[in-house]
Structure 1
Amino acid sequence: DQASEEKKRLEEKQRAARKNRSKSEEDWKTRWFHQGPNPYNGAQDWLYSGSYWDRNYFNLPDIY
């Protein structure tokens, strides 16, 4: 169905972007999350950085 095709298209585009990043030596880091201790259990986890709503739409990767 149409939703499955769109999901497949997005995943393939994101995989291609990841592959291109690995070929280049450009540093990549997450935009809106960072790793750190979970405040509830102390385990390493992805934590929201709090900057999503302040984002700039320039220089975003074309993964959609």
Structure 2
Amino acid sequence: MSSLQGYISAREASYKWGVSERRVHQYCQAGRIPGVSRFGRSWAIPADAQKPTDPRKENTRRK
């Protein structure tokens, strides 16, 4: 999909972040990626977007 300058597809983001493509779709649907846009059935993710943190893993450290 790299036809939009400065944006990557959900598949490209999944390779970049080491998660499944489905997980990237979930991040997009939940609004956890700033600057994401929907074009038909595809997501356009800014190429410089950072992988959202997983809230399930934030409280795993014990003090």
TM-score (normalised: structure 1): 0.21
Name the structure with the higher helix share: 1
Based on CA coordinates, which of the two structures has the bigger radius of gyration? 1
